[in-house]
A and B are shown apart, each in its own frame.
Chain A
Amino acid sequence: MTTYLIKNAAILGGDPTDLLLADGVVQAIGASVVELVETTFASDVETIDATGLVALPGLVDLHTHLREPGREDAETVESGTQAAALGGFTAVHAMANTEPVADTAGVVEQVWRLGREAGHCDVYPIGAVTVGLAGERLAELGAMADSAARVRVFSDDGKCVSDAVLMRRALEYVKAFDGVIAQHAQEPRLTEGAQMNEGELSGRLGLTGWPAVAEEAIIARDCLLTAHVGSRLHVCHVSTAGSVEIVRQAKEKGWNVTAEVCPHHLLLTDELAATYDPIYKVNPPLRSSADVEALRAGLGDGTIDIVATDHAPHPHEDKDCEWAAAAFGMLGLETALSIVQETMVDAGLLDWAGVAERMSYAPARIGRVAEHGRPIEVGEPANVVLYDPSVRRTIKASESASLSRNTPYAGRELPGRVVATFLRGHATVLDGKLATTPHEDTRSAPVSAGTPA
């Protein structure tokens, strides 16, 4: 296995230093690197000049749609994890809304196995909360938790667990194995036929509104339920200023609530719907600039714990049509870090240590993933991203590793570029391109979750 000597990398944006990645772990940092290379790791050493690059812990996405099994025309585990690696991710959580739904141990183990075979990043399947995402009865959450996939995050994402009793039971039940319910907060009756953010613009465009209150009402209810049963709630893709406020209050009360925001909600606004181009159609919808400001502030002050991509590939024909007929969702893995740089780092709301927390440590903690989201320190798993924040690039849909092309950023200039991604010391991305040989996962059995970091 190749040993990587990384020279002059700014770990979390700090002073440039050297890093030695070998045998899957960070072997040395700083002055001791040179000595170790000469004594212990002399053969097959590749040196990478990381001058000007920021080293971050491998990113962890808590919200990815890999589409396999069932919609391999939109994305596969192979292509989705390639996109993830190119975006600097070393671990993704695969959402359960596949066909068949990931609501049994069999399906989650299939996705888990496909992830290991792909080797571009680790795949942690998310289990459905209810059978078939139908919102009627609980799926076998325990069987998924006990499976080889070791599921800890459960979500009906795409649909809301709207039944209050079912939600309560799910929150209670997952306490047995330290699970978390990741809720897609959308009151279904208030959003029947909803197409875009409800506001002055939806009225003018004649597109059915998706009101903020439909998200906020569910979040408020779920925070109260979580507190009542003493469980753990994670709120998916928070999109409104009101939601940030509710999560803030829940945290102030000490309730076990975490929340995520998607890159597109940090950057884009509902004004884009005026084009009627469904490349901007997403659920929850793009909101107002006031919401965007509140989300950025919430992510900055920690009210929102993490950035999650909600990477949602769709085949061309599902976006090349009129707005109402189009599918909800947009690609996100390959642009997430750039958008966080643009909206948070360059805006002075977050430093690189903050980015590591929001995009690596915290999502791994919430997902109870022990082997990711670790600091770049000697002895830790060598999951590392090298990122060049100084360049700017124009996004081209055709250059995505995803099988789908539904990026809303095509033609847009964004800052930064992932130069290299290392998964357990193996380069999945080098010089901004996929490394040719995928990482062979030699771990014999799933690692125990252990105590959260």
Chain B
Amino acid sequence: MKRHLLSAGDLTRDDAELVLRTAEEMRSLADRPIKKLPALRGRTVVNLFFEDSTRTRISFEAAAKRLSADVINFSAKGSSLSKGESLKDTALTLEAMGADAVVVRHGASGAPHRLAHSGWVRSSVVNAGDGTHEHPTQALLDSFTMWRHLAKDGGSLDGRRVAIVGDVLHSRVARSNALLLRTLGAEVTLVAPPTLFPVGVEGWPVETSYDLDAVLPKADVVMMLRVQRERMNASFFPTAREYSRRYGLDGKRMRQLQDHTIVMHPGPMVRGMEITADVADSDRSVIVEQVTNGVAVRMAVLYLLLGGNEPAGTTDGTTKGLSE
């Protein structure tokens, strides 16, 4: 694992498993009356959100606070500056304030990459979702959730079949999950209408299918992606109804699943579109648990990136605990 977490593809299997094991420890904290560790005392984590995402921001904020870091929330939305000026100038401002880690959410693919490699800042950069590119901590929390359900007691996700269903083309969650699950040994099948696959998906380390019903009976995990109704206006599919009929997960389809199969969703859900209420609220659904796990995984990431065991102020933000 490098100094930054920009792409799920940056993680080796050892890196990823270290994050998962660390997250397991962090998660046990949630069951204690005092949910706080002193690990990042005196360190500053900035949540830099150019796009609204209350749930991701809160998750990172909770993670940093439970590690006793100082948290600055910086919402750049509505800034009068142009996008470009705003990213660089904001970065310089944060650098001047002495941020140790910058958690960035941005509508432009590659913006965190730019932040990390432009020379604007020296702090660690964590990608909290960039455009239609990646969302690596989401993939980590998804893998962590699968791991807790399917790979207990030192097992692994090797050979586990994960179906990721929906708007793959516009999904940073799908990209990061495809990369990370492959690293962890799982077999990923992406399911979508042909219009919602990116060009060149055949070069990805995944299977693809246009037929949800053919994929469901073999899956150990079914991950539904959010599909915006507005996509039908750009002719990605004819109507929301037709999309739901062909690619939505409803009670009837759920009955095709194996007994142990879990249903996931990164949220926010569009109930009635890609998933029906009875599925989302069923025993198979681990959607709420994903949120809980999100805090634990983000604690693990911040802890490992910022070298939590170091006394404050002695490092320049380089990685401790993970190899450079």
**A322–B200 contact, CB under 8 A?**
no
Residues 199-219 of B at the A interface (beta carbon under 8 Å): 199-201, 203-204
Task: Indicate if A411 sits at the interface (CB-CB under 8 A).
Answer: no
- In the complex, which of the residues B82, B110, B199, B204 contacts A276, with contact meaning CB atoms closer than 8 Å? B110
For B113, list chain A residues within 8 Å (CB): 276
For B117, list chain A residues within 8 Å (CB): 275-277
- In the complex, which of the residues A198, A201, A208, A325 contacts B82, with contact meaning CB atoms closer than 8 Å? A325
Residues 63-118 of B at the A interface (beta carbon under 8 Å): 82-85, 87-88, 106-111, 113-114, 117-118
- In the complex, which of the residues A203, A277, A325 contacts B108, with contact meaning CB atoms closer than 8 Å? A325
Which residue of B is nearest A323, CB measured?
B110
Which residue of A is nearest B106, CB measured?
A322
The size bracket of the interface on A is: 20 to 34
Task: Indicate if A207 sits at the interface (CB-CB under 8 A).
Answer: yes
B197 to A: closest C-beta gap in Å: 8
User: In the complex, A128 Cα to B133 Cα: how many Å?
Assistant: 37
Among listed A298-306, A313-321, A350-358, interface-contacting one:
A313-321
Task: Indicate if B276 sits at the interface (CB-CB under 8 A).
Answer: no
**B200–A325 contact, CB under 8 A?**
no
Task: Indicate if B22 sits at the interface (CB-CB under 8 A).
Answer: no
**B199–A203 contact, CB under 8 A?**
yes
User: In the complex, A277 Cα to B113 Cα: how many Å?
Assistant: 9
A64 to B: closest C-beta gap in Å: 25
For B107, list chain A residues within 8 Å (CB): 324
User: In the complex, A418 Cα to B172 Cα: how many Å?
Assistant: 48
- How many residues of chain B have a CB within 8 Å of chain A? 29
**A204–B175 contact, CB under 8 A?**
yes
**B133–A205 contact, CB under 8 A?**
yes
Task: Indicate if A329 sits at the interface (CB-CB under 8 A).
Answer: no
User: In the complex, A219 Cα to B177 Cα: how many Å?
Assistant: 40
Task: Indicate if B220 sits at the interface (CB-CB under 8 A).
Answer: no
User: In the complex, A321 Cα to B50 Cα: how many Å?
Assistant: 14
B50 to A: closest C-beta gap in Å: 9
Q: Using known A-B contacts A276-B113, A323-B108, determine if residue A203 contacts B200 with beta carbons closer than 8 Å.
A: yes
B166 to A: closest C-beta gap in Å: 16
Q: Using known A-B contacts A206-B132, A206-B175, determine if residue A323 contacts B109 with beta carbons closer than 8 Å.
A: yes
Which B residues are within 8 Å of any A CB, using their own CB? 82-85, 87-88, 106-111, 113-114, 117-118, 130-134, 172, 175, 198-201, 203-204
Which A residues are within 8 Å of any B CB, using their own CB? 195, 198-209, 211, 275-277, 317-318, 320-326
Would you give 24 A-B contacts (Cβ < 8 Å), ordered by A? Answer: A200-B203, A201-B200, A202-B200, A203-B201, A204-B175, A204-B200, A205-B109, A206-B109, A206-B172, A206-B175, A209-B199, A276-B113, A276-B114, A277-B114, A277-B117, A317-B84, A322-B84, A322-B114, A323-B114, A324-B108, A324-B110, A324-B111, A325-B82, A326-B84
